[in-house]
Amino acid sequence: MPPRTSGASWNDVKAKLATLDRAELVALIRDLYGVSSVNRTFLHTHFALGPDLLAPYKTAIDRWLWPDFLKHEELSVPRARKALTAYRKAVGRDAGLAELLVFWCERATGFVNEYGGDGREVYLEALVDMFEEALDVIASLEPDARTPLHDRLWAVRDIAQGVGYGVAEDMEDAFERFGVN
């Protein structure tokens, strides 16, 4: 890990950036692009480059919400949330964000339905939170775009019936609050 620079702030960086010409800025961004896959994903998403901009975020969500226990992978709600945060920072378009939130709910519900929710209260609370957030973001979309996402969330709620812990009931309450029939 590189050493932390003490005392430097975004304002210091911004002041330095203001002194660069176009070619120097492009070279700097090229260097940042080359230094990590996170930066590449951010730039591809921000500039809408590539056939499936959501794929890297879905891969991360899937990895952290449905780990492969045979490979000794860990479950991590915070790391799955980090993928959503990264997408929001890159572009945050409501349609893409809605898709990621619904996907998040599908994967989380599928996992907990298969492996059980015992001892995973944080996981189940996060699932309900994401379900509500998905409904909130979907509400900002055009009416024609809402229906398929709502249908997928109804399917999530149906799967959640087998989960217990009041998850399906919380989802039904969320549907009522958002006026989804």
Q: How far apart are CA 65 and CA 62, in angstroms?
A: 5
Structure tokens that stand for 151 in this block: 């249908």
This prediction has a pTM of 0.86
- What would the two tokens of residue 96 be? 């893409």
| pLDDT over 70 percentage in the chain | 94
Sign of the alpha-carbon torsion through 80, 104, 62, 97? negative
Q: Is the pLDDT reported for residue 118 higher than 60?
A: no
pLDDT band at 2 (very low <50, low <70, confident <90, very high): low
Q: What is the pLDDT of residue 69?
A: 86
pLDDT recorded at residue 41: 86
Report pLDDT digits (tens) over 57-90. Answer: 999 999 999 998 889 999 899 999 999 999 999 9
The full set of domain ranges for the chain reads: 10-50, 51-177
pLDDT at position 112 over 80 = yes
Instruction: Please provide the CATH number assigned to the domain covering 51-177.
Output: 1.25.40
User: In this predicted structure, what is the pLDDT of residue 154?
Assistant: 96
Q: What is the distance, to the nearest Å, from the Cα of residue 126 to the centroid of all Cα atoms in its chain?
A: 12
Please, what's the largest Cα pairwise distance for the chain? 60
